[in-house]
Amino acid sequence: MAKRALKLASLAAAASGIYLYGNKFLDPNDFGVVRVGRAIATTAVITCDYLTSLRNVPYGSEEYDFLKSQDSRGRMEVYQCEMLSEVHLRSAERLRELCCANRGTFIKVGQHLGALDYLLPEEYTRTLKVLHSQAPQSTRQEIEQVIREDLGKEVLLLIVKQIFPDFEFMWLVEEAKKNLPLELDFLNEGRNAEKVAQMLKKFDFLKVPRIYWELSTRRVLLMEFMEGGQVNDKAYMEKNGIDVNEISRNLGKLYSEMIFVNGFVHCDPHPGNVLVKKCPDSGKAYIILLDHGLYQVLSESFRMDYCRLWQALIKADMKRVQKYSRRLGAGDLYPLFACMLTARSWESVNRGIDQSPLSASEDVEIRSNAAAYLPQITQLLNNVPRQMLLLLKTNDLLRGIESALHTRASASSFLNMSRCCIRAVSTYQRSKSHSLYRRVHISLTEALSLWQIDLYELFLWLKGSCLGNWVIAFLSRMHHST
């Protein structure tokens, strides 16, 4: 019991790509001694709590077994035994206190964990969600001091180059050193915001805050104020007449376009950075994308392999799943890699992830296996290309949003991904072809494939609509009469 619970606690760290120090010597110049000590102490207390609190609960006992109940909406909820739940809650509260005390990268870690509804125990996600919108804030005096220094003098200022984070990433220290300083450069964030707004301007439901460059520096970024509800706040959407399925579908379109078509990916879509709002005049629902400090730029070869892998996953083409998973560094762990990408069981991957909705039993299986396969997950994360690491984080956060909105069973996200993969691969093939005939053939094949997806989507819509039921009944009667 204690061993399995500890795996869940370890998963909370692994899911965010954190490695708690290991055997590496920590230089006090790179890491605050107080913060390091606080983190080590918190980790020790949590570990001790799991070991001592659960030592007398034997595996397979009545207390250990999960209790299942059916809620009013027919969705199966799984509750762990009371004792385990209490330990989870105490541990989550300690993690939240640690994040608030240490701030910086710890806050980002807590925000990530708070979004993983589909993966972590509910006690963790519920406790850490407050960091999405109620993270510790700088005092007015601290903000005014920065503004005075950067905007109030005719002087050159030293650029802060202190290495972050206070935790060492399991997904390689080099990635943290490369990416986190970019997040601290507000001019870089402003440029990213304008780039993605231009890149995705065809999506009229997307809002990106305008940047006021004349009042911005590396440490001060002045942008347009935008407000709304968090993208995982289902109650807010229902209260304001916002269709959760439309929001989930549009969010999938945004990220599919960024990942597969453009290769320029916003890598921090936790619910505090993605807001939704309904325009009172037009009645249109918008997605507001904030915090543009961290983007992943995908190489063309990586992007094409990733596109083809997703095409194989959607088609349940296991030979190609194995081929492109191996090309992306998964090796013999390609089944685990496929499950991590899709957040589905291996059985569902083999059957076709768009063919069957996520069931309650499969959801339990995914949560259990995530803890059981932690060593293999760690090995896999160390083997895949560096570009894959932030994509996995992005995937985690998007799946968490879908879980909170109860839209994970929808096939629309996979259809949108299919469209983007087809467009991306076709564009790449045309760019490499010197034959007019070949380019025309590629374009016709692309158009046919997109048309087939549209037709399939229409079929799904008809199947679920009253009109579809009438058509099916009418055709059935016609068949029997003949």
Dist. CA 33–CA 263, nearest whole Å: 38
Q: What is the DSSP string of 315-353?
A: HT-HHHHHHHHHHTT-GGGHHHHHHHHHTS-HHHHHH-T
Dist. CA 204–CA 200, nearest whole Å: 9
Find where tokens 């949003």 sit.
401
Cis peptide leading into 165, omega within 30 of 0?
yes
Element (H, E) at 229: strand 229-230
396: CB partners within 8 A, 6+ apart: 15, 112, 115, 116, 119
- Pick the catalytic residue: 49, 268, 291, 305? 268
Which tokens in the block code for residue 331?
Answer: 């090796």
pLDDT digits (tens, 9 = 90+) for 118-167: 567 778 878 887 776 666 665 556 555 544 544 444 733 333 333 333 33
The alpha-carbon radius of gyration of the chain (Å, integer) is 24
Tally of CB atoms within 10 A around 438: 13
Does residue 30 have an active-site annotation?
no
Element (H, E) at 18: strand 18-19
Dist. CA 111–CA 273, nearest whole Å: 10
Dist. CA 275–CA 97, nearest whole Å: 25
Q: Do residues 76 and 94 touch, judged by C-beta distance below 8 A? A: no
Per-residue pLDDT of the chain (482 residues; tens, 9 = 90+): 545 555 555 554 444 433 333 333 333 334 456 777 787 888 888 878 877 776 665 544 444 444 333 333 333 333 346 777 888 888 888 888 888 887 766 777 777 677 666 567 778 878 887 776 666 665 556 555 544 544 444 733 333 333 333 333 344 445 555 655 666 678 889 999 999 999 999 999 999 999 999 988 887 889 999 999 999 899 999 999 999 999 999 999 999 999 999 999 998 788 888 999 998 888 899 999 998 988 889 999 999 999 999 999 988 999 999 999 999 999 999 999 998 888 888 888 898 887 777 777 887 777 777 767 777 887 888 888 888 887 887 887 788 888 888 887 666 778 888 999 999 999 999 999 999 999 999 999 999 999 988 888 787 777 766 555 555 555 556 555 54
Domain boundaries along the sequence of the chain: 2-136, 172-417, 433-482
- Please tell me the pTM assigned to this model: 0.68
**Amino acid at residue number 102:** N
Cis peptide leading into 269, omega within 30 of 0?
no
Q: Do residues 12 and 113 touch, judged by C-beta distance below 8 A? A: yes
Q: Is 304 helix (H, G, I), strand (E, B) or coil?
A: helix
- How many residues can be counted in the chain? 482
Q: Do residues 206 and 289 touch, judged by C-beta distance below 8 A? A: yes
Please choose, from the candidates 385, 411, 365, the residue with its C-alpha nearest in 3D space to the C-alpha of residue 175. Answer: 385
